[in-house]
Chains A and B, each alone.
Chain A
């Protein structure tokens, strides 16, 4: 990690720490908590899209799998909280591996179709498997997170946990792209044949990064479930997958700092547009369109270039 990154990370951490005192409003904290969850998903997806050159339209399914599995393990099976969460993440990663192995061995964008199909299947299952998932009416009564004796029962307490986790994921991912594996990913995303001839087992890396992105989505999903204590199928539909892809594109593909901007901007924007009532979807769409027309590489890379600073 470069010096620049360390400075910006430090500033970001301070900003995150003082923010709750700047706004007393719990509702706005909740919106930012959702942004933190989205940020975790978007980091994983950006690693996949920007560094492994593959697109997944199934992040919503992995998000949902993390949420439903941890709900089932804690409520239905009565497992203790943290092991239940860990187990649900591992199972999701395993599912991603099973999807990834056959599709990523093929050249081209087969992963998009496979993940899209998977997302549709999990959505239908979450509705139809009523005895297990609660069906369309959702799954309620999921326990809150607990660290030692401290129950995280307020937006503010969750704010600190969620942003700490997302910051940790952010730092680890910055580490990853500035490592031997990160260079290999950068190489294969540009030209797979040349990367192979340089001795990089490209299929292996694509599978690993896909599994990692699914793992992060399920981590966000599990945290979501224990935060809101209630989940329903709609949250994890295909539309969520599109939404996180949009966050990657708006923030800047291949830029993890861009993902931070994309996740916060697109989570907060619909809330800010509430005053314009029925026009909010229209204006939201217009803003997205303008960003993609005028900043095709995403907001952050363009802003950074215009400010004449080094690329992050």
Chain B
């Protein structure tokens, strides 16, 4: 994944200004920065929700900056949201099954007539979704209403839904916001386990403890530009970063 001089404006405000970055495969990259630095805007731009005004986003050599969100998901970029977004009209397992949409293809007619091929595919979807839930230890709650779970569990379901697509890039928007210390530690362990399995992860996070303990690479944004990047220990000592956070910059 390579981002070249990406710019996104909202009216007169440049939320992202000629931002250029790289994400490395099979690593955890953390994007940090003060509120309004453009972190979530960057995730939204990569997901295709905000088309780029200028600049390009390349994913495995292909330019994706003008593609609609569903095509970007089909290419293997999946995400979670700052506010957990589950579908309350579907149960836990069905929520994860939605995540398998890009990897399957039964259409309207086979849905109407439940053709044999569609049924076989449905069984496969169910099996994959159950495996994704099992990874998060939530298989026993598969048929619960999605919004009856705790915040931590809902975040896991949302991640399971994103992972069900076997994404090449998993983007997490504040994965530990709203979690208590114990839940946060469990989430950190889960993320490291995913990395071991070869998952590339980009996360936006305010929680420095989490970022410093699990990130391989930290990117610091402020006012839509990159002010520093490096391994966690380096970034922590960077004067511009300290200034941005303390507000004296």
Contact = CB atoms under 8 A, between A and B. Distances in A.
Interface of A: 1, 172-173, 175-176, 179-184, 186-187, 189-191, 193-202, 208, 212, 254
Contacts of B36: none
Contacts, number: 97
Contact of A200 (B90, B101, B110): B101
16 contacts: A176-B108, A180-B118, A181-B106, A181-B107, A181-B111, A183-B98, A187-B87, A190-B87, A190-B88, A196-B73, A197-B47, A198-B98, A198-B161, A198-B165, A200-B70, A200-B101
Given A172-B113, A175-B111, A197-B49, A184 B69 contact: no
A297 to B, nearest CB: 12
Interface of B: 47-49, 68-70, 73-74, 78-79, 81, 85, 87-90, 94, 97-99, 101-102, 104, 106-108, 110-114, 118, 121-122, 125, 161-162, 165
B79 A197 contact: yes
Nearest to B75: A199
A209 to B, nearest CB: 8
B112 A175 contact: yes
B212 to A, nearest CB: 28
Contacts of B110: 179
Given A179-B106, A199-B101, A194 B85 contact: yes
A197 B125 contact: no
Contacts of A175: 111-114
Contact of A179 (B88, B122, B162): B122
Nearest to A208: B108
B70 to A, nearest CB: 5
Contact of B98 (A176, A200, A254): A200
Nearest to B73: A199
Contact of A199 (B70, B87, B112): B70
Given A172-B113, A180-B104, A254 B85 contact: no
A198 B78 contact: yes
Given A183-B90, A196-B70, A212-B108, A191 B85 contact: yes
Question: Most B CB atoms within 10 A — which of A182, A183, A193, A200?
Answer: A183
B97 to A, nearest CB: 6
A186 B111 contact: no
A175 B114 CA distance: 6
A11 B128 CA distance: 35
Contact of B101 (A180, A193, A208): A180
A198 B111 contact: no
Contacts of A201: 68, 70
A180 B99 CA distance: 10
B203 to A, nearest CB: 16
A179 B118 contact: yes
Contact of A196 (B68, B89, B108): B68
A62 to B, nearest CB: 18
Given A187-B90, A191-B85, A199-B74, A179 B111 contact: yes
Contacts of B101: 180, 183-184, 198-200
